[in-house]
């Protein structure tokens, strides 16, 4: 069959139509024959589909709670209500994150830092301790004097979760006046609820007992209440139509412990607290704190701070001596860095090895010595060599260099390195007491031109002369204007006041931003808190103090590792020690040019001064031949162990002096000694 219009065959069209109809019929039959899924089958199918389409992007698994190293506990405040009784202060509890295995020193340090940061009323001048809720010292577990306190052990012994544990900061000594009235202690006990005066008036009206005028108070509490007691003894006694039962009120007037509940109600206004009482309390508190702080030596304080260092964890620094600051900042910003970890230094410009579990501090002490010298001579500080003050450079503030400087100084002191030993007294007072409490005079102004201008202005004999000096000097007028001290002078006292305020502004106040960041860094490892609590002990660590050695005092720093007495080696060592003592005498008399006791100390330990944490120096002798088969002519050192090894082959002092001097002057630093 063919189409009448186009002439194409119609057979193919019929076959195609039949095939399509057959396919459609088959599809309908198949669809109608499909079995409907049950709900369980449908849910299972959907679950498989979701599992294939929705996959978690995170491969990390949640850490079990028992594997977490940090716990959240509560730290409160406790105060004395008598010489032998303490009680918690309500509303002063703060959450605190601390290591679960933390000992007393770590918990106490972190608690002090948190309390000072979040509680402006916290008195850092007091000497504090960490106690349990019942007032016991936290050094050991309760009732177990042989068990040292750790947070984990205390939690297990107590049987409470970490977030239900509360420890308290308590003054070591009572901080109130013992002569004050005894009833004042009632309003601070935990179980007492202090009533306001309107509540007292209500009770007086209801009882009809004439108020607190009929009440006699002694040191032991409530002694007698004559009139009211007489009324209450009479069962028929009533007031304002209200009858009272003797059995109900008789126990109220008994001098028992339960009367504390009513004591604050009835004696709220017995004896007012006078200004003289406040002064006595403050003087007594300062005196107690001074005595307690003077008892502890600087070494003991630093040993306690150093106990928080974790020797199993390491913070690594890769340092090039020609780029100290850059390497130090890189190390401080490393993800694995923590100031409480052991410091490991690798000097990349020598052939030494990094300090790790084997080494014991030589490269670290050298690094802190060199970085300390770099910082105090850089633009981070300004002023003279012995009176340094913070600068205020915008770029340094942006990069937070002042924080890094404070952090490095704190780490150096706690880890066994040196302190700056160059701060001016006003800067040290500003760090420990606050900027406003630090006194500054004209001599502390390190700008020579401004100091001369202020001295001339200060010595003006009349107000007119002072005004003329300002008008003649544009620079002085500009400085006074910037300091906010430019004013109209009426008397010469106004002139002196302006000079002092301007000097204070120039030395401290204009660097407030730098000072705050520096203090934040210095608070690392509890150093700033320790400075505030032990002002005198830390003064020589930060401020300049002359350090001079004599041959005898320097020689006494070393112990000697000798051979067996009577042996040939022992006799040779005796000759070497006589040469050594003559060598020290020549240094004291400045016979040897360019060499000092500080160079020898740096050669032996990596420190140019005895660090606050101390050193244990030792002298040994080079009896053993080297790889070449001959014994060394030059001294050697192990800066990690702070040992000097003296050569034993010199028969004359001239030869000994020549070789030892050459070594000390040309082999400074780890990897060279």
15: CB partners within 8 A, 6+ apart: none
The DSSP code for 37 is: P
Q: Is the pLDDT of residue 257 over 60?
A: no
pLDDT-derived band of residue 286, with 50, 70 and 90 as boundaries? low
DSSP states of 176-237 as a string?
Answer: S-TTS-GGGGGGGSTT--PPPHHHHHHHHHHHTS-GGGG-EEETTEEEE-HHHHHHHHSTT-
pLDDT at 62 over 90: no
Q: Helices 401-415 and 362-377 sit at what angle, rounded to 10 degrees?
A: 140
pLDDT tens digits, one per residue of 203-233: 444 444 444 444 343 333 334 444 444 444 4
Sign of CA dihedral 156, 161, 162, 164: negative
Both tokens of 644, joined, read: 């000097």
Q: What's the token pair of residue 376? A: 């105090």
Residue 539: is its pLDDT beyond 70? Answer: yes
Structure tokens at 310: 């974790």
pLDDT over 90 (residue 528): yes
Report the pLDDT averaged over residues 500-515.
91
Q: Are 3 and 10 in contact (CB under 8 A)?
A: yes
pLDDT value, residue 20: 55
Q: Which residues are CB-neighbours of 26 under 8 A, at least 6 positions away?
A: none
Cβ–Cβ < 8 Å for 558, 644: yes
Instruction: Give the pLDDT band of residue 614 (cuts 50, 70, 90).
Output: confident
* Tokens describing residue 631: 């014994």
Residue 159 DSSP one-character state: T
Q: According to the model, what pLDDT value does residue 429 have? A: 93
Q: What is the pLDDT of residue 219?
A: 36
Q: What share of the chain is helix, strand, coil (3-state, %, to 5)?
A: 50, 15, 35
Summarised one tens digit per residue, pLDDT across range 578-602 is 999 999 999 888 888 888 888 888 8
pLDDT band at 669 (very low <50, low <70, confident <90, very high): low
Which has the higher per-residue pLDDT, 271 or 44? 44
Q: Is the pLDDT of residue 42 over 90?
A: no
pLDDT score, position 224: 40
Q: What is the pLDDT of residue 606?
A: 82
Cα torsion 466, 467, 470, 473 to 10°: value is -90
Which pair of structure tokens corresponds to residue 512? 């407030």
The whole-angstrom separation of Cα 194 and Cα 197 is 10
Selected residue with higher pLDDT from 377 and 181 = 377
Distance CA 421, CA 428 (A): 11
Q: Residue 259: count other Cβ atoms within 10 Å of its Cβ.
A: 16
Using DSSP's 3-state secondary structure scheme, residue 647 falls into: strand
pLDDT in the model for residue 395? 92
If you average pLDDT over every residue of the chain, what do you get? 77
pLDDT at residue 137, rounded to an integer = 87
What is the band of 522 on the pLDDT scale with cuts at 50, 70, 90?
very high
E strand or H helix at 327 = helix 324-332
Q: Which percentage of the chain shows pLDDT scores above 90?
A: 22
Counting Cα atoms < 13 Å in the Cβ hemisphere of 62 gives 3
For 294-317, write each residue's pLDDT tens digit.
Answer: 568 888 999 999 888 888 888 989
pLDDT at 199 over 90: no
What is residue 87's three-state secondary structure? strand
Separation CA 362–CA 369 (nearest Å)? 11
Distance CA 317, CA 297 (A): 31
Q: Which of 156, 101, 97 is nearest to 310 (CA)?
A: 101
Is pLDDT at 256 greater than 70 in this prediction?
Answer: no
DSSP bridge partners of 176: none
Mean pLDDT of 554-576: 88
The pLDDT of residue 244: 39
Mean pLDDT, residues 155-175: 87
- Tokens at 187, concatenated: 């309003």
Which of residues 9 and 373 earns the better pLDDT score? 373
| Residue-wise DSSP of 500-562 | HHHHHHHHTGGGHHHHHHHHHHHTGGGHHHHHHHSHHHHHHHHB-------HHHHHTTEEE--
pLDDT at 424 over 50: yes
Which secondary-structure segment (H or E) carries 453? helix 448-458
pTM score of the predicted model: 0.56
* Confidence bin at 529 (pLDDT 50/70/90): very high
The H or E element that residue 311 is part of is strand 310-319
Phi and psi angles of residue 423, each rounded to the nearest 5 degrees, phi first? -75, 145
In angstroms, the CA 666 to CA 673 distance is 9
Confidence band (pLDDT; 50, 70, 90) for 516?
very high
**Contact predicate 109/117, CB 8 Å:** no
Q: Which domains does the chain have, with CATH numbers?
A: 67-171 (3.10.20), 300-427+524-542 (3.90.1750.10), 442-514 (no CATH), 551-666 (3.30.2410.10)
Lowest mean pLDDT among 63-67, 84-88, 295-299, 387-391: 63-67
Residue 52 has pLDDT above 80, yes or no: no
Q: What is the mean pLDDT of residues 172-197?
A: 47
Q: Is the pLDDT of residue 263 over 80?
A: no
């Amino acid at each position: 069959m063919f189409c009448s219009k186009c002439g194409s065959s119609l057979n193919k069209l019929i076959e195609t139509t039949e095939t399509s109809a057959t396919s459609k019929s088959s599809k309908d039959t198949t669809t109608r024959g499909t079995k409907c899924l049950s709900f369980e089958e449908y849910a299972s199918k959907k679950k498989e589909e979701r599992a294939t389409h929705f996959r978690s992007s995170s491969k990390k698994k949640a850490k079990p709670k028992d594997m977490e190293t940090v716990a959240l506990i509560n730290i409160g405040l406790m105060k004395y209500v008598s010489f032998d009784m303490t009680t918690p202060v309500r509303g002063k509890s703060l959450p605190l994150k601390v290591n679960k295995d933390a000992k007393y020193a770590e918990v106490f340090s972190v608690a002090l830092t948190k309390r000072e940061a979040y509680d402006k009323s916290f008195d850092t001048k007091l000497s504090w301790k960490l106690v349990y809720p019942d007032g016991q010292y936290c050094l050991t577990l309760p009732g177990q004097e042989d068990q040292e306190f750790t947070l984990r052990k205390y939690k297990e012994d107590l049987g409470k979760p970490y977030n239900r544990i509360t420890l308290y900061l308590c003054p070591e000594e009572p901080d109130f006046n013992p002569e004050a009235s005894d009833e004042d202690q009632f309003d601070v006990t935990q179980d007492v609820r202090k009533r306001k005066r309107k509540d007292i008036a209500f009770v007086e009206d209801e009882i009809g007992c004439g108020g607190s005028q009929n009440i006699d108070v002694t040191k032991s509490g409530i002694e007698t209440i004559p009139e009211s007691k007489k009324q209450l003894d009479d069962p028929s006694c009533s007031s304002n139509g209200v009858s009272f039962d003797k059995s109900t009120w008789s126990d109220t007037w008994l001098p028992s412990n339960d009367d504390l509940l009513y004591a604050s109600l009835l004696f709220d206004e017995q004896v007012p607290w006078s200004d003289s009482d406040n002064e006595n309390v403050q003087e007594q508190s300062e005196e107690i704190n001074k005595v307690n702080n003077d008892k502890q030596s600087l070494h003991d304080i630093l040993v306690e701070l150093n106990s928080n260092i974790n020797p199993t964890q390491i913070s690594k620094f890769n340092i090039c001596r020609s780029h100290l600051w850059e390497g130090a900042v890189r190390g401080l910003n490393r993800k694995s860095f923590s100031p409480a970890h052991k410091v490991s230094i690798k000097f990349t410009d020598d052939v030494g090895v990094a300090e790790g579990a084997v080494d014991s501090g030589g490269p670290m002490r050298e690094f802190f010595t060199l970085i300390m010298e770099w910082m105090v001579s850089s633009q981070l500080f300004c002023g003279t060599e012995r009176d340094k003050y913070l600068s205020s450079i915008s770029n340094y503030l942006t990069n937070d260099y002042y924080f890094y400087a404070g952090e490095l100084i704190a780490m150096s002191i706690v880890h066994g390195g040196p302190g700056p030993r160059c701060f001016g007294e006003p800067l040290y007072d500003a760090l420990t007491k606050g900027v406003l409490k630090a006194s500054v005079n004209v001599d502390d102004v390190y700008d020579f031109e401004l100091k001369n201008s202020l001295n001339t202005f200060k010595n003006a004999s009349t107000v007119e002369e002072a005004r003329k000096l300002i008008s003649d000097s544009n620079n002085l007028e500009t400085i006074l204007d910037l300091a906010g001290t430019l004013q109209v002078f009426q008397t010469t006292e106004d002139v002196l006041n302006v000079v002092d305020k301007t000097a204070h502004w120039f030395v401290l106040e204009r660097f407030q931003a730098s000072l705050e960041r520096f203090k934040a860094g210095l608070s690392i490892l509890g150093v700033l808190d320790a400075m505030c609590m032990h002002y005198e002990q830390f003064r020589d660590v930060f401020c300049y103090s002359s350090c001079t050695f004599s041959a005898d005092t320097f020689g006494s720093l070393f112990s000697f590792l000798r051979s067996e007495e009577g042996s040939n080696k022992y006799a040779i060592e005796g000759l070497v020690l006589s040469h050594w003592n003559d060598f020290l005498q020549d240094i004291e008399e400045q016979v040897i040019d360019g060499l000092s006791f500080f160079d020898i100390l740096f050669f032996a330990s990596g420190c140019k001064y005895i660090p606050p944490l101390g050193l244990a120096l030792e002298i040994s002798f080079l009896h053993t031949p080297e790889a070449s088969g001959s014994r060394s002519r030059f001294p050697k050192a192990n800066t990690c162990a702070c040992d000097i090894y003296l050569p034993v082959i010199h028969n004359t002092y001239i030869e000994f002096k020549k070789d030892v001097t050459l070594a000390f002057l040309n082999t400074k630093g780890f990897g060279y000694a």
